[in-house]
Structure 1
Amino acid sequence: MLDTSLRVPDIPTRLRAFLDQRTPVTPCLVIDLDAVRANYRAIRSALPEAAVFYAVKANPAPEVVRALVAEGSSFDVASTGEIDLCLEQGATPESLSYGNPIKKAADIAYAYRLGVRRFTFDSDGDLENLAEHAPGARVSCRFLVDAPQSGTPFGKKFGCAPDMAIRLLARAADLGLAADGACFHVGSQHTDPAAWVSGIAEAGRIARALAECGVPTRSLNLGGGFPTGYADPAPPLDVHAAAIRAAVATHFETAPELLIEPGRAVVATAGLIRTEVVLVSRKSDSDEHRWVYLDIGRYSGLAETENEYIAYRLRTAHPDAPDGPVIIAGPTCDGDDVLYQHTPYRLPTALRAGDHVDILDAGAYTASYSSVSFNGFPPLPTLFVG
């Protein structure tokens, strides 16, 4: 069972000081840029042999991208908008990898014109567009992996069968592209290091098959998915790195150039969302559960609570008070805007409208998921420390 006790977590010192001094209007996301830098350096330290391409979609704030440019990061981009953002913040075109295998021909041409030379694909159609609009570019083919333990699984939207990836990469070479190699993604928030092991084993098989066809490859893109501890702890990066390192040694005769695309692992713990209680109510006089409505919901930054995939740690203004079971919901006039009704959360019985509830480790996939103006609620603003 998840440990959703709200009396345990505390707010990081710098974020607490910022909130105490600024008392910002809620809801808002506060990002500690020093924590972003520290997380990036921890990833580099855990797996120094891998080039880090920050997944911009996790948190595309210009301030975050600019801080990572200064750290020497490369960037995994999913659209022309993210390409423009990175370049505007000082990234070089050579540091960008267009990792989205679903893209328009015009977007490929735009990226290539700006100097982007690294792309991911998983289909004949996208490959043909790359050959036409990005001649000579470095391309990786994304294949499907079975990773059921992912916190927020991708399903089968991205990637192709491994045998198809062999055919596509051989065809890429025939079309004049630089067939870099295979890539895969175990799914976001994956806590099992074995997921990377099985993916690396399949990538090694793909590389060997291509070599036999006279198509040497040089890279292996491991994607993202590196987890963050939320209500439940997650294995540390060192554990995942050790599993990756051992699998590469086992399944590749010559170690390939490694790429990783962390997003959550870079920004999640750097952020906190401060919210306010709008209403506390019960559905009947005998109902054990109270409904706690916050001024933020699934449409204003908490999209990852869909299916209750991500169980955030919470902190209230009454950390030591008696508590009881609750259902937590957002403020909109939408019946699906319920955050937690199956995950067993308990909140202080003293909680009242106007009290703050802080959502910890909320730096990833929150502001970037916030809707423009659903029900008239504005997008989630982001404030910065450091």
Structure 2
Amino acid sequence: MAISTLTQDLTIKVPAATVAANQTLHFAQPSNQLIEQLVAQHGAPLMVLDCESVRQQYRALSRALPGVTLYFALKPLPHAAVVRTLLEEGASFDLATSGEIDLVANQGVPSERTIHTHPIKRDADIRDALEYGCNVFVVDNINELEKFIAYKDDVELLVRLSFRNADSFADLSKKFGCSPAMAIDIITYAQQLGIRIKGLSFHVGSQTASPSKYVTAISACNHVINEVTALGLPALSTLDIGGGFPVPYNKDVLPIDEFCAPINDALAQLPDTVRVIAEPGRFIVAGAVTSVASVMGQAVREGKPWYYLDDGIYGSFSGLLFDEASYPIDSLKQSGERVESVLAGPTCDSIDVVSESIMLPKLNNGDLIISRMMGAYTLATATDFNFFKRAEVIVLNDVVHVDALTG
């Protein structure tokens, strides 16, 4: 199994004084001065990844969900610096592919701090995980359960339930999960096959606006847990409440402690023997990355100024298509009258437009466009289309470099 690298990285230790607090977004952001220094040294486009933001978000969610073990979902930002940072914080990791196994293994993550949660797997995926030492998997149907007959002495399974959520960015229960009744059938059949069912899991969807979705799902899972016991089947010991904890892109969301309060109340109704885990991804990394792009050309079309950037939809802004995200975007230049403008990406494809309508001052070639909250589903889904290279990743406050300076 070979690791694929998102980009080449540079690790920098930045004094805290150079990081400006953005009160609107509630995240620490690189200062304009630091951004200008990085561009002067490395050029553009850049993606500036601040590991201190990763630490603070992990700690905030840990405080908001006391007693819940957090398994970081690598999918939004599978980057080695993020893994190192969270490993030092004591996090566990949620894996879905053999490539993600490679990533955590190469960063020294103990296999017992991982679970494999992709509901649909190839036999090779199962074997790769077991070879690494990860033995907790997720299933949501009989066909998937039967894939584990050959490995029944080595695995523990979670059965994933479906709870539809039209209010989320991505309704993950549309593609995965089963009904509570089907969960009972799977658990019963697993007992006949000699396969151990460890517990249940669910995911209410990405960017879930209301904690009520979690409360409903936890209550339904509690009912299944009690029904399993009543049927004389082996007691379930784990509940995985997934991810989906919201972050503020261009609108406010509930502070995470308020958001999690009703979730904690619902978890308190579970049997004392049930361990609770979660799979946060976006919440941990969304605010950790700032995109820096430069204007490489401009034109006026139908009365609007068009600014062509050296990064776009096929690069760091891929989340505008794949994730339906809405990033806070502005020019580093603040002076001058603002007019309705268009930001376009660098490729020859007409779909490569970052914003059809954004208020900007008059910009010159080489001026910088800064986009915050770019940590989730950006680098992970960027491409090299049209042979425009992906943005270089600049890593701030990486644990490896900090240790080297202080050791």
TM-score (normalised: structure 1) = 0.89
Give the match for residue 82 of structure 1: 100
Question: Is 1:208 matched with 2:208?
Answer: no
Give the Cα separation in 2 of the matches to 1:10 and 1:205: 37
What does the per-residue CA deviation read over 1:316-349, in whole Å, with 9 as the maximum and x for residues that have no partner?
12224322223433222223323334xxx53223
* Matching residue within 233, 241, 244 for 2:263: 244
Give the match for residue 229 of structure 1: 248
Give the Cα separation in 1 of the matches to 2:52 and 2:102: 24
CA contact under 8 A between 1:296 and 1:302: conserved in structure 2? yes
Q: Displacement, 1:89?
A: 0.4
* Matching residue within 211, 214, 218 for 2:237: 218
Q: Displacement, 1:220?
A: 0.9
CA contact under 8 A between 2:165 and 2:205: conserved in structure 1? yes
Q: Displacement, 1:10?
A: 11
Question: Is 1:56 matched with 2:71?
Answer: no
Question: What stretches of structure 1 of length at least 5 have no aligned partner?
Answer: 1-7
Give the Cα separation in 2 of the matches to 1:292 and 1:197: 46
* Matching residue within 183, 204, 229 for 2:201: 183
| Corresponding residue SS for 2:83 | helix
Give the Cα separation in 1 of the matches to 2:250 and 2:371: 11
Question: Is 1:360 matched with 2:376?
Answer: no
Give the Cα separation in 2 of the matches to 1:135 and 1:22: 53
Q: Displacement, 1:308?
A: 7.7
Give the match for residue 378 of structure 1: 389
Letter of the structure 2 residue corresponding to residue 232 of structure 1: K
* Matching residue within 290, 303, 321 for 2:336: 321
Letter of the structure 2 residue corresponding to residue 20 of structure 1: E
Letter of the structure 2 residue corresponding to residue 376 of structure 1: F
* Matching residue within 31, 36, 57 for 1:20: 36
CA contact under 8 A between 1:69 and 1:91: conserved in structure 2? yes
Give the match for residue 294 of structure 1: 309
TM-score (normalised: structure 2) = 0.85
Give the Cα separation in 2 of the matches to 1:175 and 1:199: 28
| Corresponding residue SS for 1:172 | helix
* Matching residue within 265, 276, 287 for 1:258: 276
CA contact under 8 A between 1:58 and 1:264: conserved in structure 2? yes
Give the Cα separation in 2 of the matches to 1:292 and 1:11: 28
Question: Is 1:310 matched with 2:310?
Answer: no
CA contact under 8 A between 2:295 and 2:364: conserved in structure 1? yes
Letter of the structure 1 residue corresponding to residue 256 of structure 2: L
Question: Is 1:96 matched with 2:119?
Answer: no
Query: Is the alpha carbon distance of 1:336 and 1:160 closer, same or farther for their aligned partners in structure 2, counting shifts above 3 Å?
Result: farther
Q: Displacement, 1:55?
A: 0.6
| Corresponding residue SS for 1:21 | helix
Matches within 5 A, 1:96-245: 96-133=114-151, 135-154=153-172, 156-215=174-233, 216-245=235-264
CA contact under 8 A between 2:30 and 2:290: conserved in structure 1? no
Q: Displacement, 1:351?
A: 2.2
Letter of the structure 1 residue corresponding to residue 382 of structure 2: S
What does the per-residue CA deviation read over 1:54-83, in whole Å, with 9 as the maximum and x for residues that have no partner?
011111111110111111110001111111
- Quick one: percent identity of the two aligned structures? 31
CA contact under 8 A between 2:203 and 2:244: conserved in structure 1? yes
| Corresponding residue SS for 2:78 | coil
Letter of the structure 2 residue corresponding to residue 19 of structure 1: I
> Number of paired residues?
372
Question: What stretches of structure 2 of length at least 5 have no aligned partner?
Answer: 1-23, 398-407
Over aligned residue pairs, what C-alpha RMSD do you find? 2.3
Give the match for residue 69 of structure 1: 87
